[in-house]
Chains A and B, each alone.
Chain A
Amino acid sequence: MAKDDRRTMVLALLVVVIIAVPVVVFASMQNDNSNPTSSTVDSDALGRMVNVTSFARVVSCAPDITETVYAMGHGDDLVGVTTFCDFPQDVLDRKVAGTLTEIGGYWDPSIEQIVDLEPNLVLISSGVQTHLALIDRLEAKNISVVAFYPGKNLDEVFTNIDIMGQVFNDAKKASQLTAEMSSNMNKIKAITSVHTIKPKVLFAVWLDPLYTTGGATYVSDIITGAGGTNVFGYLTGWPQPSMEKVVEVQPDYIIVSGTMMLMTPEQIIESMHNDPIWGQTPAVKTGHVYVVAGQAENCFLRQGVRMVDAMHLLAEILFPNDFSADVPNTIGSEYQNYLTPLPDYASGGMTMLTPMAMTQV
């Protein structure tokens, strides 16, 4: 090629790209969904309307979603879950038996493994980038995708249950579930509201450095719902306050989430006793440090249907006399043993335990 032709060539190439790019983008936006529908979701967490062709063979990409599916009674429809999904027990049993496949972790679902299961429906979280990236490819294979809210607060959790009701065409069950949860929350509130002074609670997600919850988070809502005050409620998000602040706020109760830490729950409590700052807090001095691990921890940190259990547990910790409960300082997956039945003041009798406690084997 001669030098003079070069400029023409460059321009030609650029024209090709400038035309091709919008064509590709446009072509990708064409959707074709002409399949029989079992259920319709009017608006999922991304505002999409989704026609679900069938809800047999479902993949869940988040542990809280898995729990919600089970709560709706459709646990048997699941064929794929994440490595972190571990509740209820049926999930673990089925993984061992090989009837439930792990499709990746929470942050990195494997599209290949999802597709390999030949699901009809995949449930994702709208807050995870890698989940969103799955939508196009799954829909290209005529797999319905429904997105759920990440659960920043209790409202989102209730909305998720609503959406789940639309997914399984069982709005009745969904509203039953939410009604029960609300009712239990109200009962807890009724019991604890007699106390005008709310105990100060510090919830530590991590201890070194201290990671705690500010106000307006899911965990903060649990604390408030249990009748306590979040000592760091004036902050937002998940802050890392300095130890001086701990001295300043003087928590009466400290809840530590202990699964990820290297020490055993007992060691954690002991180290806090020996720590110069932690040791000075009212919580440590009065022996009100509680370490939640295993499934107990999941109640607090997994934004899903078991949050009422978390609220219940925390309320029992804060006001043991009101609940006739005796919760030990270290609580693991046997936490449900400590949940006493909630009295039903209106009817004067006892009401059922919370739904999730029922499904435990």
Chain B
Amino acid sequence: MPAEGMLLRIEDVEFSYEAVHTLNGVRFEARPGEFLGLIGPNGSGKTTLLRCINGLLKPQKGAIYLEGSQVSKMKLSEIAKVCAGVPTDIPDDFNISVEEYVYLGRYPHVENIWWEEREDEEQVEHAIECFELDPLRRRKLFEVSSGEKERVLLAKAVVQEPKVLLVDEPSAHLDLKFKLEVMERLHELSRRGITVIVASHDINLLIKYCDRVIIMKNGGIVKCGSPEEVMTPELIRDVYEVEAVVVREDGELVAVPKRPLREGEKRCAPGKG
């Protein structure tokens, strides 16, 4: 039974890709409106975890609960009404306009087989306004710049009216300005009550905005807590095998990597199931 107020609950989830153990005894909870950051080295299971949350992958052990219902028992259409994912990028050969693309996000909610209803249009128009996509409406997707694309992706996710938003590497190919912009918008969404989970390699960006940070390694959660609790040189050394210092500058917490660990300096990371 879920605890009161918990939107998302992940209990002892284990997942394997053909005998490769990707997730091991993962558990955490998230409240509505929380902004969670998910960090960890390549292969730590961040993407797999996100895929388990929206039902794309089914964990072999353990359970995931969205709003009290177990994800593996929910119908796809029901999951889609609650949980939305923002992909890293849109394929370049996609020949539809921005407006049409955003409309696709309404799919889980559209009642009518053919035509959208007033409510759907309102949602889409609202999102277009919010993300300043009005001038780009009719442009085809491949004519849109990276920064603009990011807004388009977010708009589509937002019209899905999700309670949980899963974002995988949003800023990988964006410049400084757009990186910050994306995080600002996601932060704003979380203020509106949406639980946002962002997986990223950009640690400093996450710790700037997130309420809590989850750090993973080898399929398990090493630590889950506030940015200050998680961002310690010891943890960074254990998880990333990188020597780093954490400084506080102008009220901002920043991790500065110094050098990778040499062979002899590594040791087993804690938190392995």
Contacts and interface: CB of A to CB of B under 8 A. Distances in A.
A and B touch in the complex (CB under 8 A): yes
Interface of A: 1-3, 6
B94 interface: no
Interface stretch (B29-37, B111-119, B182-190, B244-252): B111-119
A8 B77 CA distance: 18
Interface string B88-128: 00000000000000000000001111100000000000000
Contacts of B113: 1-3, 6
From DSSP, what is the main secondary structure of chain B's interface residues? loop
A347 B113 CA distance: 93
Contacts of A2: 111-113
Given A1-B114, A3-B112, 9 more contacts: A1-B112, A1-B113, A2-B111, A2-B112, A2-B113, A3-B110, A3-B111, A3-B113, A6-B113
Contacts of A3: 110-113
- Taking each of B110, B111, B112, B113, which has the highest tally of chain A beta carbons within 10 Å of its own beta carbon? B113
A78 B119 CA distance: 75
11 contacts: A1-B112, A1-B113, A1-B114, A2-B111, A2-B112, A2-B113, A3-B110, A3-B111, A3-B112, A3-B113, A6-B113
A1 B113 CA distance: 6
Contacts of A1: 112-114
Nearest to A5: B113
A2 B113 CA distance: 6
A2 B110 CA distance: 9
A1 B114 CA distance: 8
Contacts of B111: 2-3
A2 B112 CA distance: 5
A145 B110 CA distance: 60
B124 to A, nearest CB: 19
A139 B94 CA distance: 56
Contacts of A6: 113
A3 B107 CA distance: 11
Contacts of B114: 1
Nearest to B113: A1
A2 B111 CA distance: 5
B110 to A, nearest CB: 8
Interface string B110-149: 1111100000000000000000000000000000000000
A2 B77 CA distance: 14
A6 B113 CA distance: 8
B107 to A, nearest CB: 10
B116 to A, nearest CB: 13
